Amino acid sequence: MDAAQLKQEIIEYSKTIGIDKIGFTTASTFDELRNRLIRQQELNYQSGFEEKDIEKRVNPSLLMDTPRSIIAVALAYPSKMNERVTSKKGERRGIFCRASWGEDYHLILRDRLKKLEAFILEKVPDARCKSMVDTGELSDRAVAERAGIGWSGKNCSIITPEFGSYVYLGEMITSIPFEPDQPIEDQCGSCNKCIEACPTGALVQGGQINAQKCIGFLTQTKDFIEEPLRAKIGNRIYGCDSCQTSCPENKGKNFHFHEEMEPDPEIVKPLLKPILQLSNREFKEKFGQLAGSWRGKKPIQRNAIIALAHFKDETAVGELIEVMTKDTRPVMRGTAAWALGKIGGETAKLALEKALEKETDEEVLTEISHGLKEVNLV
């Protein structure tokens, strides 16, 4: 079978297995990306979650012997929930970003790519295929851009004309020389809405991010978050969507093609206070299926504390005092002390004063002192 016919068959088959967009590109090196990655590294603008070996990121022949093409796939995810939470007045909730709604997308895309791989191997038994989603060496966005899935927006996201930027990306390197597709022209024009909407100024210019300042990154860290950035996090428990919700290209884009991606509002918009008390088992049971649980319980609990401070939730003072005085993790104790300072009140003040006498960890002591200064201001 010739590659042109197989390409057509793959496109047709992809539609039947829940792949929403597919594109083809060569397996040549990503030279522009190489320079960009070096620059990002020099500026310390990377998150640290990226593959460290830049050459592996830009040269597919280091990942497979004589690769001839890359197939890029995109799956659209919902931007609005079909169901709403039933909240009582005064109950405060956090929010997981849209890319963490429903079942972990890595599993969903891997399933689709596995099916695609089986289809190709049935047609060409000696073909070689290597698939990856997010955690692979390649830049999923650079591959998608070159394969014509979408353009690379000023918010850094790949924006498809059909589904906006609410798409997950994955790819398969193959030994088959498919005809490449053409990239899509950049359609951002003079728009700057995403840059203006970014709460932390992480988008330093169109298409360039300082990941260290991105809330998407901060919510995934495990340590103390720098004080001035905490207030910007608001009630985000995992990830951030501001540079996507502000994008006009996403207006009206809300696709519910994949049942597995349907969010349970009680899980992705969870009550904050119960998060503070979760055991490891309870955390796994409630949040374990989400992509946003990959860093474990600690960042989610820390972010829940930050969110309670954001709401100045006086009903949480008791729980926060528990955390400040009993939690074994300094990050939790210190962040709780900071939150008590933000919320204020006599009970918070007394608890902070007591904690100042008993606490021994230096960082936590600093947070308690700051908390006390704040509480006197509230």
Residues recognised as catalytic: 134
Total residues contacting ligand SF4 by CB under 6 A comes to 24
Instruction: Give min distance, CB of 248 to ligand SF4, in A.
Output: 6
Those residues whose C-beta lies under 8 Å from the C-beta of residue 226, and which sit 6 or more positions away, are: none
CA distance 260 to 275: 24
State how far the Cα of 64 lies from the Cα of 73, in Å rounded to an integer: 19
Q: Does 70 bind ligand SF4 (CB under 6 A)?
A: no
Q: Is 331 in the site for ligand SF4 (CB under 6 A)?
A: no
Of 45 and 283, which has the nearer Cβ to ligand B12? Answer: 45
User: Smaller CB distance to ligand SF4: residue 209 or 272?
Assistant: 209
Burial of 28 (0-12, 13-18, 19+ CB in 10 A): middle
Q: Strands 236-238 and 95-96: what pairing?
A: parallel
Q: Which of 46, 192, 208, 289 binds ligand SF4 (CB under 6 A)?
A: 192
Buried b (16+ CB within 10 A) or exposed e, 177-187: ebebbebbeee
Instruction: Report the distance separating Cα 298 and Cα 220, nearest Å.
Output: 9
Q: Which is nearer to ligand B12, 180 or 345 (CB)?
A: 180
- Show contacts with ligand SF4 in window 194-253 (CB under 6 A): 194, 198-200, 202-203, 209, 214-216, 240, 242-243, 246-249
Rounded to the nearest whole angstrom, what is the least distance from the CB of residue 208 to ligand SF4 in the complex?
Answer: 10
Rounded to a whole number of angstroms, the minimum distance from the CB of residue 97 to ligand B12 is: 3
- Angstrom distance (rounded) from CA 248 to CA 97: 18
CB of 11 to ligand SF4, least distance (A): 27
Instruction: Note the residues at the interface with ligand SF4 (CB under 6 A).
Output: 153-155, 188, 191-194, 198-200, 202-203, 209, 214-216, 240, 242-243, 246-249
